[in-house]
Structure 1
């Protein structure tokens, strides 16, 4: 079953048990970090260079740890080769503070 692209007026929303995130990626950063919301996107910086989707792959690994899920629980809906992306995180076990604050 293919997942649908979720239209959102925020950087995050629930689709059942799945957290949908709109992301503005920043590759080749000094450190991996979840930043602040910028409009309807969440800024996430990663140390990997944007070569052949490696920065997105690195972001998925980083976010899997942050959300307490396996890497295969994170789906890149679109933007694997772009700074603008949407991810679906199935049943996250923990939420970073910027997301907790926004959803509460």
Structure 2
């Protein structure tokens, strides 16, 4: 099990480190004990959080309403709950 990913009752809790204003939204390996995610949106008025939720929902095959930022709303370092992911992106290295 990865240090940045934890399963709880079928939900996946991810520890993420965001890099806003990237050229494209993508997974970018590890940043310490967190999964680094590049996000295209700038970190203003919640745009990066909105883009993160949209990106993770698409990558894990779930609705945006099933992605929740648990902590770190105003920080680059976040904890995110992914409810019942339908797929696990290979580039994350996460397994069930």
1:52 is matched with 45
Residue matched to 1:72: 65
Q: TM-score, normalised by structure 2?
A: 0.91
Aligned pair partner of 1:43 in 36, 40, 56: 36
The CA RMSD over aligned residues, in Å, is 1.5
For this pair of structures, how many residues does the alignment match? 95
Q: TM-score, normalised by structure 1?
A: 0.85
The answer as to whether partners of 1:10 and 1:39 remain within 8 angstroms in 2 is no
- Matched residues in 1 for 2:28 and 2:90: separation? 10
Distance of 1:102 and 1:51 partners within structure 2: 30
Which ranges of structure 2 fall in alignment gaps of 5 or more residues? none
Q: Which runs of 4+ in 1 moved over 2 A?
A: 101-104
Q: Where do 5+ consecutive residues of structure 1 fail to align? A: 1-8
1:39, CA displacement in angstroms? 2.2
